[in-house]
Chains A and B, each alone.
Chain A
């Protein structure tokens, strides 16, 4: 089945800096790649997603890039703010969603 690896497991940045989280997947047939944000004590919430026919997608300060040849995709957050502090999960889907192990992002004021 699908295997998704996510790095780093923790990331600390200063407010205003950029943050990058990277994921690799194993199943070349996967065609949907969402990113979820989970705040403490809450369920995950979709922040952005990308499909295999698109190489990059941007939504305000958040962008995702996809390299299907290398089977990896990344989340980029620019101008980070303290409210961006959370755990971020990538996922890949050919059938069911397979999630990465998560990245705890801490934005220092």
Chain B
């Protein structure tokens, strides 16, 4: 099992460009998450999906959109990238089917995004 995979690993964008970060899991998990990690700030939840076709906003959703394409895949889109979105982005999945979030989360290797 590959677990949680993310593509790309690295990306450099110019301000105003758009891109989609891809995430897939092969553990048949119900829930998937997108986090961003900035120095000294831990991980902050951007969006969450409890099942195919459902998404919820997290702590920092502004400037992002998500799509739960099917049970395996959860993508994060930046429509018009800004320097403030420079960060490392992690996708995660868990067996959780609804709140509260008290199941182990399995993280992907991350995407390092730089916006100039």
Contact = CB atoms under 8 A, between A and B. Distances in A.
Interface of A: 1, 4, 6, 9, 31-32, 34, 36, 41-46, 49, 51, 89, 93-102
Given A1-B59, A43-B107, A45-B107, A93 B100 contact: yes
A57 B83 CA distance: 42
Interface residues of B, number: 22
B43 A46 contact: no
Contacts, number: 59
Contacts of B40: 9, 101-102
Contacts of B58: 96
A80 to B, nearest CB: 22
A11 B105 CA distance: 25
B102 interface: yes
